[in-house]
């Protein structure tokens, strides 16, 4: 897959206000939206669940597959099994 656009988003990802932006970013690409709520990991499972739920709802609004990846720390992030889930994503 060829490289795609990059959006630097300070906040608001997964929210309805970002639906058009996220839909444009994934348009014409593999409809696989990988969400990695890394900032929520230190806040605990409740926060992770909250952001994963928001991410799945956004993917549903856009009409693409949601893939949620939880990486609590660098060891998790370096896990090849997680990298495999990112493979082929149209939007991360």
Average pLDDT over every residue of 54-67 = 97
Spell out where 1-92 has E strands.
Answer: 32-35, 65-68
User: Mean pLDDT, the chain, as a whole number?
Assistant: 92
C-alpha distances in angstroms, 43 versus 7, 38, 48, 66?
25, 10, 8, 22
Phi-psi region of 85 (alpha: psi -120 to 50; beta: other; left: phi over 0): alpha
pTM of the model: 0.87
- State the pLDDT at residue 35: 94
- State the pLDDT at residue 12: 82
């Amino acid at each position: 897959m060829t490289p795609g656009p990059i959006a630097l988003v300070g906040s608001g990802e997964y929210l309805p206000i970002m639906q058009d932006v996220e839909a444009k970013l994934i348009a014409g690409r593999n409809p696989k939206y990988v969400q990695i709520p890394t900032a929520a990991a230190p806040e605990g499972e409740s926060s992770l669940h909250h952001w994963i739920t928001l991410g799945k709802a956004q993917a549903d609004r856009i009409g693409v597959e949601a893939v949620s990846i939880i990486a609590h720390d660098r060891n998790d992030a370096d896990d090849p099994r997680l990298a495999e889930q990112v493979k082929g994503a149209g939007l991360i």
